[in-house]
């Protein structure tokens, strides 16, 4: 099972997975490495056929790109992370037919529960609550850095154009409305200094 933990600096990470270094000197080699990572991740993602979708994502997917830049003259080192999260869509069991399969049913329940937890986080952020329920799901716990004072977030909501899916589209729009009410504020810039300039962080 995947375990989400916090490191000594208070950042979220997934315990037990590999971090792959991408070649930034050789562009062709770096892109090939990146493509290999994406292919491996796509193979690992659970996908199944339902009555609503021939290739239904049965899990969320989070791609984390850790970046580090340095300035040799000033000795400053800047670090950051880009998280690309593809959320599996919420499902109605009567339409997807997932309720007839025990495995698909558990997947649907897990997806809907994590999306509900994400909605609770957005509501708490929009209301300026002192306690934000990031720990209520692995998804929100992993995305805590993106949705707190350390980062910025951008969300795209995909809608189905069919009349049959109007109820799901309306729910998605309401979810987007909750997200739109959130103001994360100014992102925090993390700067380190090389040993030549002395150590520190601001």
Per residue in 57-77, pLDDT (tens digit) is 778 888 888 888 888 888 888
Point out the least confidently predicted range of 85-89, 161-165, 169-173, 190-194: 190-194
Q: Is pLDDT at 196 greater than 60 in this prediction?
A: no
pLDDT tens digit string along 119-158? Answer: 999 999 888 899 999 999 999 999 988 888 667 888 898 8
Q: Which residues contact 151 (CB under 8 A, 6 or more apart)?
A: 145, 184, 187, 188
| Mean pLDDT, the chain, whole residue set | 82
Long-range contacts of 134-142 (CB under 8 A, 24+ apart): 137/113, 138/2, 138/4, 138/114, 139/60, 139/62, 139/114, 140/114, 141/4, 141/12, 142/4, 142/12, 142/14, 142/62
Q: How far apart are CA 55 and CA 144, in angstroms?
A: 29
Q: What is the pTM of this model?
A: 0.75
Instruction: Give pLDDT, residue 79.
Output: 84
Handedness of CA 164, 170, 176, 180 (dihedral sign): positive
Q: What is the DSSP letter of 153?
A: -
For residue 10, give the 3-state DSSP assignment. Answer: coil
Q: Determine the distance from the C-alpha atom of residue 140 to the mean position of all C-alpha atoms in its chain, rounded to a whole number.
A: 8
pLDDT of residue 55: 66
The Cα–Cα gap between 95 and 164 comes to: 10
Where does the pLDDT of residue 26 fall: very low under 50, low under 70, confident under 90, or very high at 90 and above?
very high
Compare 182 and 51 and report the one with higher pLDDT: 182
Contact 33, 23 (CB under 8 A): yes
pLDDT of residue 200: 44
Answer yes or no: is pLDDT of 199 > 60: no
Q: What is the mean pLDDT of residues 91-111?
A: 75
Residue pair 49/39 in contact by the 8 Å Cβ criterion: no
pLDDT of 201 > 50? The answer is: no
d(CA 36, CA 44) in angstroms, rounded, equals 13
């Amino acid at each position: 099972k995947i375990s989400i933990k916090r490191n000594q600096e208070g950042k979220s990470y997934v315990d037990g997975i590999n971090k792959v270094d991408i070649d930034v000197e050789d562009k062709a080699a770096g892109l090939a490495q990146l493509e290999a990572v994406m292919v491996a991740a796509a193979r690992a993602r659970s996908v199944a056929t339902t009555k609503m979708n021939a290739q239904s994502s049965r899990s969320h997917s989070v791609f984390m790109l850790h970046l580090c830049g340095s300035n040799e003259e000033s000795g400053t080192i800047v670090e950051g992370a880009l998280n690309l999260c593809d959320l599996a869509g919420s499902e109605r069991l009567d339409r997807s037919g997932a309720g007839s399969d025990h495995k698909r049913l558990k997947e649907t329940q897990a997806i809907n529960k994590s999306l509900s937890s994400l909605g609770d986080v957005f509501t708490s952020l929009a209301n300026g609550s002192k306690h934000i329920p990031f720990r209520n799901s692995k998804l929100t716990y992993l995305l805590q850095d993106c949705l707190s004072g350390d980062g910025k977030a951008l969300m795209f909501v995909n809608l189905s154009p069919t009349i049959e899916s109007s109820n799901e589209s309306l729910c998605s729009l309401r979810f987007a409305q909750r997200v739109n009410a959130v103001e994360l504020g100014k992102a925090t810039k993390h700067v380190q200094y090389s040993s030549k300039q002395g150590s520190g962080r601001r």
